[in-house]
Amino acid sequence: MTAGDRHHVDVGAYALGLLEEADADRFEEHLAQCGRCADLLEDFVGLEPLLAAYAARQGTASAASAADAAQRGPGGR
Ligand SMILES: [Zn+2]
């Protein structure tokens, strides 16, 4: 894995705002020239509100029950 490839794995962390500022800057530089990461970022940004909604709805629920809820699909009550 090259240094350039490393940035591909940062997409999720960047989308969720988990990167250090320096890492985020580096990733944005990479993003400007990487269509693959741009596509991935779009997917992650689209998912992020769903994940946040899950987290809010599940509260302190375990990952197992979150996965169970995911199987019922969004909007399931
Ligand atoms: Zn990339």
47 has pLDDT over 60: yes
Give distance in angstroms: CA of 41 to centre of ligand 1: 10
Cα 18 to chain centroid, rounded: 9
Give distance in angstroms: CA of 73 to centre of ligand 1: 30
Does 49 fall in a domain? yes
Does 72 fall in a domain? no
d(C-alpha 75, C-alpha 69), whole Å: 10
| Number of domain units in the chain | 1
Does 77 fall in a domain? no
Give distance in angstroms: CA of 31 to centre of ligand 1: 6
Instruction: Report, as an integer, the average pLDDT of 51-55.
Output: 85
pLDDT for the residue numbered 22: 95
Cα 74 to chain centroid, rounded: 17
Does 39 fall in a domain? yes
Give distance in angstroms: CA of 42 to centre of ligand 1: 13
What is the CATH classification number for the domain harbouring 29?
1.10.10
Does 35 fall in a domain? yes
pLDDT digits (tens, 9 = 90+) for 4-46: 567 787 888 888 888 999 999 999 999 999 999 999 999 888 8
pTM: 0.55
Does 70 fall in a domain? no
Does 33 fall in a domain? yes
Query: If pLDDT is split at 50, 70 and 90, which confidence band does 1 have?
Result: very low
Range of the domain at 17: 3-59
